[in-house]
Structure 1
Amino acid sequence: MASNLVVYDLKKITTLIAPRKGEQKLGEHIELLHVNDTLETQLSSSDAKYVLLGIPEDIGVSANLGKTGTRNAWNTALPFILNIQHNSHTKGNKILLLGHLDFSGELEYIDSLSGEEKIEEARKITESIDKEVADLIYKITASGKKAIVVGGGHNNAYGLLKGTSLATGSAVNCLNVDAHTDFRKREGRHSGNGFSYAFHEGFLNNYYIFGIHENYTSKKIFKAIEKKKKIKYSTFEDLFIRRDKGFDFELNEAIDFIKTEKYGLEIDMDSIEGMPSSARTSSGLSLNMVREIVFKGKKSKNNAYIHICEAAPNTKNNTEITQVGKAIAYLVSDYIRK
């Protein structure tokens, strides 16, 4: 198993489930690993369609000079996911709960640093995180399962794209719902350049960015992506200010662009208005819009995974815990929904 993988057992999740008479919770039916076989064997033999994994880290965000806190999203969201109702629409036995990748030691080390040293070390560690993520996603994809990954920073998109690409034997496509392109300069790995690295190294083919903000995308980035035929985008202003083509038209165009090959769904929580995240926005998509994107975006047989990232709840603020936890739980349930 991956060296940083913490596998969950029944004891780990039981305290997170709130049973109620006459109801069945998703966590009461979710599948778990056991210790007797290898990860590859258990993934292959499992009847679950999805594998749920957490990556609680914000080292890639630190490496990008961003606001930390994305390390808190997984532990915040998991109880809300486990307490979704198990019914004909959201079946717990469709999910294998794997566990999380533990980078607590690395986080402690980065927290002890400052200035240029912190950035330099964070970028080095982000590279090692890439390898762990890519290796685990490779195994999940090779087993025929779809990964549901809750981050963490958007740096982990690189490992997801690489692992999926290596498992399928070709470059994969991607729909990224994001206020930013994350296609910045390849200057050392961080949360702002996962897609530019994946594209340069041949793991990412067609790339569609949905709803980027013109206010926060540089002239240089626009110029770089407009040169590439394999990259398309719609801006938030196209969708909701100028209303050039409309939400439904742009979404269908985006899905058509990426569904021809294996593809990933990337959901950056900073695209959602008012969501506690590493780049919180006062103007953005509604949660209901993103839920619709997830539901429609996952329908094609070529969808390989969903990655929900960049949520950064303050763990001392109950309002933020509920907001983030429920939002991620809704997105997970929409991904498995019939």
Structure 2
Amino acid sequence: MENLILYTSSDLAKITNHRSGEIKFGEKMLTVPKNVNASSFLQECEAKYVLFGIPEDIGVRANLGRPGTHSAWESMLKSIANIQHNRFCKGNRILILGQLDVAKEMKKADEYDYQILENRLELSKLVVKIDKEVTHIICSIVKAGKIPIIIGGGHNNAYGNIKGTALAKGKSINAINFDAHSDFRILEGRHSGNGFSYAYEEGFLKKYFIFGLHESYTSKSVLDMIKKIDFRVKYNTYDSMKISMEKSFAEEMYVAMNHIKSDFFGLEIDLDALPNVASSAMTISGFSVEEVRHFIHYFGKSQNAAYLHICEGAPDLAEPKNSHLVGKLIAYLVTDFIKANYIEV
């Protein structure tokens, strides 16, 4: 884990607002102690959930999206550190491992104009480098018997999450993606729009369900591709549940669960699916915050839930006075997952 920047107890103390008579998550969450091997500590620590950040937006740029997703990790940390530690959810269930060191890649990415095709191909090469590091770290966390909670970054990181988990489990895994987009586009070089198709093509992704596709933003070629492999890749649309009302949200969650529940699965949440949340492909029409929270609770309850990935949030794209709200939203989603998934031993 040489490309991992460990989060320290002093880092945590700086962002925790202490208040008399209260106990905050920042006072209870674990960090890797100084001079202790991170891999060894992963094996030994009491925390079941491991927070890991990927502060990049290179995959987003390679996909012609708006940069800004690199800022979600830091924003989320400031929010989760100040959640109340109580009987509903306890901070010591979480180890803050740290963030991937992508400083060199981000600096290199600034040299490229992502509007130019040749430059996007160079960005894709940087994404491949990040893929390798994400795969290694996720594999290490899962092998240690922990559940990674990954905060992106772009949705390109789904590839490393899936591959790392599959390698640790010794078999391909399933995934469900709460998203306005399929991210199952052609294999044209790595970017945020094809993490799942690459994982599928390489045998790490077995079954895949896309929950809430926006009909107006899904190409005919992607729909045709999915139709050919619909025994393994299925979807529903936002429009069918919330506009024409042909399907119900609750029933569709049941359908999706039946598709993926037989094996370990990754739980992928793209904040582009929520209206007016600052993100790389911000929308004005989508599911509510309450619906995504319920979604995470529903799928998080399964003991086959192998990881949670929350991505595409971009606090840097929010209005300055409210830029903290993206981090606060992510902190809600993280604790919703833990509350649903955690079992007292």
TM-score bracket, normalised by the shorter chain, equals over 0.9
1:219 matched residue in structure 2 = 220
Normalised by the length of structure 2, the TM-score is 0.95
Gaps of 5+ in 2: 341-345
Greater shift in the superposed pair: 218-227 or 174-183: 218-227
Q: 2:343 aligns to what?
A: none
Structure 2 equivalent of residue 138 of structure 1? 139
Question: 3-state SS of the aligned residue for 1:242?
Answer: coil
For this pair of structures, how many residues does the alignment match?
337
The match for 1:19 is 18
- Deviation for aligned residue 1:317: 3.2
SS in 2 for 1:261: coil
Q: Is the 8 A contact 2:279 2:317 kept in 1?
A: no
Compute the displacement of 1:322 (Å): 2.4
Write the distance in 1 (CA, Å) between the matches of 2:76 and 2:322: 11
Aligned partner letter, 2:93: K
CA RMSD of aligned residues (A): 1.2
1:279 corresponds to which of 281, 287, 292: 281
1:70 is matched with 69
Counterpart residue identity of residue 200, structure 1 = E
CA contact under 8 A between 1:26 and 1:90: conserved in structure 2? no
- Structure 1 counterpart of 2:295, one-letter code: I
Change (3 A) 1:225 1:315: closer
Residue in structure 2 matched with residue 126 of structure 1 by the alignment: 127
Q: How far is 1:316 from its partner?
A: 7.5
CA distance in structure 2 between the partners assigned to 1:160 and 1:146 by the alignment: 11
- Residues in 1 aligned to 2:6 and 2:316: alpha-carbon distance in whole angstroms: 25
- Aligned with 1:57: secondary structure? coil
Q: Deviations over 1:167-218 (max 9, x none)?
A: 0011100010000000001011100000000000000011000001000001
1:118 positional shift: 2.6
SS of the counterpart of 1:15? Answer: helix
Alignment-derived partner of residue 40 in structure 2: 41
**Would you say the 8 A contact 2:278–2:317 is kept in 1?**
no
Report SS of the residue matched to 2:149: strand
Unpaired stretches in structure 1, ≥5 consecutive residues: none
Cα distance 1:83–1:200, how it changes in 2: closer, same or farther (>3 A)?
A: same
Percent identical residues:
47
* Correspondences of 1:184-199 after superposition (within 5 Å): 184-199=185-200
Aligned pairs for 1:297-316 (under 5 A) are 297-314=299-316
Q: TM-score, normalised by structure 1?
A: 0.97
Question: Alpha-carbon deviation of 1:244?
Answer: 1.4
User: How many Å separate the matches in 1 of 2:261 and 2:333?
Assistant: 20
Point out the more displaced range, 40-49 or 301-310: 40-49
Contact 1:278 1:312 (8 Å CA) reproduced = yes
| Distance across 1 between alignment mates of 2:94 and 2:17 | 19
Counterpart of 2:28 in structure 1 is 29
Question: CA–CA distance in 1 between the matches of 2:3 and 2:119?
Answer: 22
Match of 1:60 in 2: 59
Per-residue deviation, residues 223-255 of structure 1 (Å, max 9, x unmatched): 111211101111001111121120100011112
- The answer to whether 1:94 aligns with 2:93 is yes
Superposition deviation, residue 319 in structure 1: 3.8
Which amino acid counterpart does residue 194 of structure 1 have in structure 2? G
Q: Could you tell which deviates more after superposition, 11-20 or 193-202?
A: 11-20
Q: 1:240 aligns with which of 242, 263, 267?
A: 242
What is the identity, as a one-letter code, of the residue corresponding to 2:226? Answer: I
**Is the aligned partner of 1:183 residue 2:190?**
no
Distance 1:255 1:275 in 2: 26
